[in-house]
Structure 1
Amino acid sequence: MRLRAPWSARSRALPVADSWRTGARVLDKAASGVVSSRLAVPSWQGASADAFRSSSRRLETDLDASITSLLDGASRLEAYAQVLAEAKEALERLRALVGAALLEAVDAGAPAVLVAGVRYAAAGAAVGIRARVSIAAMQTAAALNAVGVGASSRVGSGAAGVGAHGGGGVGAGKGKDDDGTGSKTKFSDEDIRRLRQQADGSSDWDPVDQYKIGDCYFLATLDAYSQSEEGEQFLRDHVRWSEEDQAFIVTLHNFFGFPEEIKVTDYYTDGNQGDDLGGGRRGPNLMSVYERAYGQYLGDHNLPNGRPADAMRAISGQYGPPVVDTRGTSGFLGAVREDHEYTDEEWSQIEQAVKDGRPVVATTAGGDFGDGNTASDATANTDARAADRQHPDAAIDTHDRSGDYQIAEGHAYTVIAIDDKYVTLRNPWAHNNLANGSDAGDDGIIRITREDYEKYFARTDIGGEIP
């Protein structure tokens, strides 16, 4: 029996992805030049100055959109290449198991029908693996069409990740592609002691605090698992300390749901900022360990620009968590259109998932930012208290500041509560911004109206029940 798969596609996908990332870096430099030229003439006033600034902002926006598309497209191609690599590994493993089973059956003089059964089962498994590769290929092609690679599209594919050059773009200024993953810090003895306590359940960890790496989709997903005791325990159950390796062993899952053990001996210096140790000191926590493990699993350089659904699968091993989005259908043969509305059934799905303690993450890529990014009648947790960490769903009260707040474009938030009028979210930046762009002085928890949620959050990823 010959088990074949299109491995040559992987060798073609990676160089194309690299070329797109190179193109994004070139455009990034150009965008930085546009910003610099605008800032270089602060005293220039008048109609011509206004026209210049307006044109340069439009150019910056277009460049940001192209950068976002290139980075998102590269990430999709790399993810597809990873699927191919995992499928190849699965087929090789299947080949070895089948070979051993057939030899054993022949040596034992098993009936021909039994030998045929082994071959039939193996063929079925191989077909299943190839089917997943085909599905991944179709999803990748659809995603590349959606992000408009090669065109000036501002709409992402539902991936929330990283800004292009520190202003605007996906991730709203939280670094750029490759930033942050190069700098790593070894765990100290104090770190190891604290992390082992968090892994064994004798200590808790602080909420996520994103810094320069554009992995909001992954940190928001980790935070979503941390909302329930079952989710916290699940994360703990998949991290252990190995004395032999002097490393934390994190169990993640590949595209086919197979567990993979990742050895973690350090953390991203510019990644999740971990726990507040007092006195202005911060140290890595269990979320930092997971972030580093996921980075190693992906290859470090492509942590930015991912999808919560992929992060959920890697953490849980569950394939295909449901996704609800604001696209409706209309027109000829039910053509899809974006109406920025969730149906009653979709609202019920989100509500039930939050009620059940399942991980829920919302992304703003594809949201309606045509007239700005302000959420009115919103309330941020400006009067944060110790109890809010244990009960973030009840953190917002009359002591907190209500008003206008920014919703970051191309970003991911954890959904932590929902009622008939409001949706409560947590920003993985560990703060929100006022309408004027200044830090609101909160802890990242913000409550917005359902109307603003529909407007800005085009996609909601819902994880399965905690295994």
Structure 2
Amino acid sequence: MTGHFESLINDVPGNADFLTSLAAEWDTYGNHCDGLADDVMSSAHLAPEWAGRAREDFGKSLERQRNRYINLGGDCTTASSAISVYAGAVRAGQKYIENLRYQASKLDEEVDNAPDPLEARVENMPAANVLVLEAFIRIESVKRAADRCAQDLARIVHIEPVQVNNKNPTEVGQMVQLSAAENAQIQKDLDALKNGTFNWEGMKQGQIGDCYFLASMAAMAQTPEGQRRLASMIQPHYDEHGNVDGYLVRLPDDPAHPNASPGREVFVHSKYIHGATQGGRVGVYSILEAAWGQNHPGGTNDGGNKPPGINGGMPADSFKVMTGKSATTLESDGSEGSYNPIERVSIITASILHQPMVASTVNTDATYTDGMASVDATVNGQPTQIDLYGAHAYTIVSADANGVTLCNPHGFNPKTGGGRAPATFTLSWEDYEKYYGNTAIGEL
């Protein structure tokens, strides 16, 4: 037998058995990390009589270390799954190629047994070409699986930087893996975003100082077009069993490299324990916030640190990253009429056109006592005195000739004198320009 046609079928690259063994090693290491997490917490019982401030700080340190081990273990388990998916693609590809080679060998047999082998080879050439093409397509698909696995491995293992305030570590930047129930809820949110039916209200900022980013997300989520734009940034990631084990998030612009586009894609399978929620639960806001943090080498630390984190920033920069388009920034110094008539009309027009907008209490001469300033607002149609936060970003809900309606990403507003008021309120133009020195108008 010549084996001519069979020799045209190339091999599938990769070693499925080795990959399966490697996946098992990653899984074992992930379980080992989980065991180390338990060991860390059990050490707290070694000194049962120890009490006081030092004991409390030690407990917090143990909790931080435990979360790091758990997250690292989860990363290893997810990496194991990614390798298993690739191993499955290689193994299935090899079986497919074996079948194609068998079919090609049958064509070779026909040629060998024919009275005129040359004529038989010519007659069987079209059928052989089909087999060769099928082999090429399958081999290319396995190569793509290899690329996806390599990309997943590069994205999956993530060590979140510890947030440090005044040289002391805090719990703010701690992360924990998403549960199956939380993934299911996020999937519902994603479906609603894609359909333009997502309820944008209910955001509650956590302890991370990224109000500028959260307020920008809420501003985009007010319209179906903005919702679909947010949804387009998030793609579910599946494990070897077909279950969602995280999300691939790509922001249109890379905040670390603003002149390069598109932005870096990150893998998110954890949430900030003290991060943003939606209606008191994890949702797409939580996913995008986690991706925002992973796009910054400093995690939840201050933006002015080296490396920079997400604590502190301006809405115009958020809009640029999330939409890929530059935002318009209008500024007021707090004096009467400092938003001139043209600028007021620009804000009102942007509201009519449903452009996302965020206002920030910065760059004004307004007086803030202990970071707060009391203002007369309208809440649910009733005059209400509330306290505004200094250096804080608020989502603009609407604007007209009578004033500006805003929403606090904290999910509420402190009432002057005590208590809480709803997050959404309306200010007169005079108070708006007094307290809000920066208005960012985004483009979708």
Partner of 1:440: 420
Which residue, 256, 264, 269 being the options, matches 1:265? 269
Are 1:204 and 2:198 matched, yes or no?
yes
Partner of 1:346: 343
Q: CA deviation at 1:341?
A: 1.4
Partner of 1:463: 442
Contact 2:336 2:433 in 1 (8 A): no
Q: Which has the larger radius of gyration?
A: 2
SS class of match (2:419): coil
Q: CA deviation at 1:368?
A: 2.6
Distance in 1, matches of 2:203 and 2:314, equals: 17
Are 1:321 and 2:300 matched, yes or no?
no
405 and 178 in structure 1: CA distance in 2 versus 1, 3 angstrom threshold: farther
Partner of 1:183: 174
Q: CA deviation at 1:352?
A: 1.3
Partner of 2:288: 290
Alignment of 1:59-458 (within 5 A): 179=170, 181-201=172-192, 204-205=198-199, 206-244=201-239, 246-252=245-251, 253-254=253-254, 255-256=258-259, 257-276=261-280, 283-299=281-297, 300=299, 301=301, 302-318=309-325, 320-327=326-333, 341-370=338-367, 374-380=373-379, 396-397=380-381, 401-436=382-417, 438-442=418-422, 444-458=423-437
447 and 339 in structure 1: CA distance in 2 versus 1, 3 angstrom threshold: closer
Distance in 2, matches of 1:188 and 1:352, equals: 43
Distance in 1, matches of 2:376 and 2:395, equals: 19
The alignment's C-alpha RMSD in Å is 2.6
SS class of match (1:323): strand
SS class of match (1:452): helix
Distance in 1, matches of 2:168 and 2:331, equals: 26
Q: CA deviation at 1:448?
A: 1.1
Q: CA deviation at 1:181?
A: 4.3
**Any runs of at least 4 consecutive aligned residues in structure 1 with deviations exceeding 4 A, and if so which?**
176-181, 371-376
Per-residue CA deviation, residues 309-365 of structure 1 (Å, 9 max, x unaligned), is 1111111111x311000159xxxxxxxxx7771011111111111111111000011
Instruction: Give the stretch that moved more between structures: 254-263 or 344-353.
Output: 254-263
What stretches of structure 1 of length at least 5 have no aligned partner?
A: 1-161, 166-175, 277-282, 329-337, 381-395
SS class of match (2:266): strand
Distance in 1, matches of 2:441 and 2:411, equals: 22
SS class of match (1:259): coil
Distance in 2, matches of 1:240 and 1:199, equals: 9
Identity of aligned residues (%): 26
SS class of match (1:362): strand
SS class of match (1:407): strand
218 and 178 in structure 1: CA distance in 2 versus 1, 3 angstrom threshold: farther
Distance in 2, matches of 1:441 and 1:363, equals: 19
**One-letter amino acid of the counterpart of residue 349, structure 1:** S
What stretches of structure 2 of length at least 5 have no aligned partner?
A: 1-162, 302-308
Q: CA deviation at 1:460?
A: 0.3
Q: CA deviation at 1:259?
A: 3.1
**One-letter amino acid of the counterpart of residue 390, structure 2:** E
Instruction: Give the stretch that moved more between structures: 219-228 or 253-262.
Output: 253-262
Distance in 2, matches of 1:246 and 1:178, equals: 29
Distance in 2, matches of 1:242 and 1:415, equals: 33
**How many residues are treated as equivalent by the alignment?**
257
Distance in 2, matches of 1:216 and 1:234, equals: 20
461 and 177 in structure 1: CA distance in 2 versus 1, 3 angstrom threshold: farther
SS class of match (2:363): coil
435 and 441 in structure 1: CA distance in 2 versus 1, 3 angstrom threshold: closer
Distance in 2, matches of 1:462 and 1:296, equals: 26
SS class of match (1:314): helix
Distance in 2, matches of 1:177 and 1:213, equals: 16
Contact 1:177 1:214 in 2 (8 A): no
